[in-house]
Amino acid sequence: MRSRGKVLVVAAMVVLALVGAGCGRSFVLEKDLISKSQAFTQDFAARKFESVLPVLTGDALESVKAALPLLQSADVETKVTDWSGKVDCMSRSKDRASVEVTYTQEQTVPGYGTTTTKMDVVYDWKKLAGAWRIYEIKLVQKDEGK
């Protein structure tokens, strides 16, 4: 009986820690944000900036706008494979979420070759005027291949 009480206390502590951290769960919303994150990653790699820019806000938008002339002029082909994503944390009010994505990025520059990089990135999303926007993009890890 005593060990059963300990299990209940530990379970309650885990729940309180999650609530205290401000993390909530909504599996339907998480699935939607993961899908949006995948579409953003693929569109950015395909240089579909007309689809990418409306998804961004704040610092993320300003950074991409500043780099846009260089991005548009670069003669590079990017392919994304092995993509996976998960919601790392969602606010209790369900208006902010962090989605961690991992993928392999293969970039080819004609006449120079191809590099393969394993990427681990976090997209920080927030809901603004009823629409989800990425306000910060954080590179967690980048492993250069060949």
Q: How far apart are CA 136 and CA 38, in angstroms?
A: 16
Q: What is the pTM of this model?
A: 0.79
State pLDDT tens for residues 101-142: 999 999 999 999 999 999 999 999 999 999 999 999 999 877
Please count the other Cβ atoms lying within 10 Å of the Cβ belonging to residue 50.
Answer: 8
The edge-to-edge listing of strands for the beta sheet with 113-128 is 77-90, 96-109, 113-128, 131-144
Instruction: Point out the least confidently predicted range of 87-91, 96-100, 133-137.
Output: 87-91
